[in-house]
A and B are shown apart, each in its own frame.
Chain A
């Protein structure tokens, strides 16, 4: 199975800050990576797929990059509604599909 790690596990930031979250796969997955935003009591929301493709309706302040084993999610200017937990998911090797452990973004 492909294992996913994320760093940091949590980050505190101000509104307006640029936030970068890293995801690493235990083996190469090409560009087959997705990012989700998860808020308490809500379903996960797809932000990015295929490493860098922005899902329809997602604000352009979200962007993804990377390939192989190392990926990043960047929020260019953090907004109040962006405080949430972010998960990466490898989409290359199936089954199983695997998620990272999550990165919690909270208010500083």
Chain B
């Protein structure tokens, strides 16, 4: 059974970089059938897609965040990562990693989510 697990600091200072890692087990980030994505949900708000990475390393970002986002993957560790720079309080959210089907672009497996708070 595929499992995804987010890890990283729960507290980030304003203007710094938020860094999270998603560890995948029971599947491979090198599979050519899937993208691997990041989605977030600010407190009391809806879901926002941040970006996704393909097995080839190609990345796709939400234009609203593109200038601050980098997604990368480490195939040797079966992980993919999110870096979000110059964070502000509006970046406070639960961050999820998820598997995205290449053909239909839906997310079928999700990590449990991790709350990241931006505060000094």
**A-chain residues with CB within 8 Å of residue B63 when the two chains form the complex:** 1, 95-96
Residues on the B chain within 8 Å of A94, using CB: 52, 60, 105
Q: Do B60 and A95 touch across chains, with their CB atoms under 8 A apart? A: yes
Residue A15 lies at the interface, judged by CB distance under 8 Å to chain B: no
| Measured CA separation A85–B73 after assembly (Å) | 31
- Chain A contact patch, size range: 20 to 34
Please tell me if A46 contacts chain B, counting CB pairs below 8 Å: yes
The interface-forming segment of A17-25, A66-74, A76-84, A97-105 is A97-105
Expressed in whole angstroms, the Cα–Cα distance for A55 and B106 within the complex equals: 11
Known: A43-B110, A87-B46, A87-B47. A95 touches B104 (CB 8 A): no
Verify A32–B112 contact, CB threshold 8 A. no
- Contact residues in A for B48 (Cβ distance below 8 Å): 99
Contact with A34, one of B51, B52, B107 (Cβ below 8 angstroms): B107
Q: By the criterion CB–CB under 8 Å, are B49 and A50 in contact?
A: no
- Contact status A49-B60, CB under 8 Å: no
Q: Within 8 Å of chain A (Cβ to Cβ): is B61?
A: yes
Give the residues in chain B near A36, CB-CB below 8 Å: 47, 107
16 A-B contacts (beta carbon < 8 Å): A32-B105, A34-B104, A38-B47, A42-B112, A43-B112, A43-B113, A44-B110, A49-B108, A91-B105, A92-B105, A95-B49, A96-B62, A96-B63, A97-B37, A97-B52, A97-B105
Q: Which residues of A contact B (CB under 8 A)?
A: 1, 32, 34, 36, 38, 42-46, 49-50, 55, 87, 89, 91-92, 94-102
B: which residues have CB within 8 A of A?
A: 37, 39, 41, 46-49, 51-52, 60-64, 96, 98, 101, 104-108, 110-113
